[in-house]
Amino acid sequence: MGRLEGKSVIITGAGSGIGRAATLLFATEGARLIAVDRSDGVNETVSEVKKAGGRAEAVMADAGSEKDVIAFIDRALKAYGKLDAIWANAGISGGLVPLAEQTVEHWQEILRVNLIGAFLAVKHSIPHMTRQGFGSIVCTASVAGLKAGASGHPYAASKAGVISLVQTTAYSLSGTGIRINAVCPGLIETGMTKPVFDRAKERGTTDKIGQLNPLKRAGQPHEIAAMGLFLASDEASYVNGQAFPVDGGLTASMPYTGKPV
């Protein structure tokens, strides 16, 4: 028996990176999946699941659109008869220009996808999970939402908002049997962070990637997926309202240079 055997799960942002790794991992643990992404990469993800003998359906949708969110949650209910867990993982980056040069429109788009998208996943999952008396909601935040220096302003603000959403929602759902938690990735090698890795390769500084964390390396999508699996599973039955950094130890310390005394 897998850790998610027979559970109905939705994962957004499943077309690549963390979302793809999570979809593949959850499938090996017995989950029946609705994989969501606005890119056609989600079809490749689902193809991989099916080749491995898992069960999943691909949905091309915008995680920041309320109409789309309602539709893919309904898809899970029709396909599997229930909704045990949802991982609001879809996100976009940006804002890596001086604050005075950032536009309102850019802020609005990042907040729409990263924060409003998570809110919509929570809002429209709650009624179904409440009727069941159980459910797990996982949101992808970021270490950028915990401390400064990890990203541009709008991305950091959106992820700080996700963390607050998780904390406040945990209390809003008191007594329902629904748990909600956030995963806060550090520097993970995905399509979103590809420019960072490409620049390092061009400069010959790949050995410096991840140098600020005690493990001295970047993370991989499957390492974030593993934390999400725990939070979605019954093993995390007493874990609620928390934001977990998965960052090689980056946020364990105040900034320092060299070895700490």
Tell whether 195 is covered by a domain: no
Q: Which of 80, 155, 238, 256 is catalytic?
A: 155
Token pair belonging to 255: 């900034």
Token pair belonging to 144: 């950028």
3-state secondary structure of 11: strand
Tell whether 242 is covered by a domain: yes
Report whether pLDDT(58) > 70: yes
Residue 23 has a pLDDT of 98
pLDDT tens by residue, 164-212? 999 999 999 999 999 999 999 999 987 677 677 777 777 887 777 778 8
Report whether pLDDT(260) > 70: no
The total domain count for the chain is: 1
3-state secondary structure of 33: strand
pTM recorded for the entire structure: 0.93
How far is it, in rounded angstroms, from Cα 259 to Cα 121?
42
Report whether pLDDT(102) > 90: yes
CATH number (domain holding residue 228): 3.40.50.720
Residue 256 designated active-site: no
Nearest to 247 by CA among 149, 179, 180: 149
Tell whether 210 is covered by a domain: no
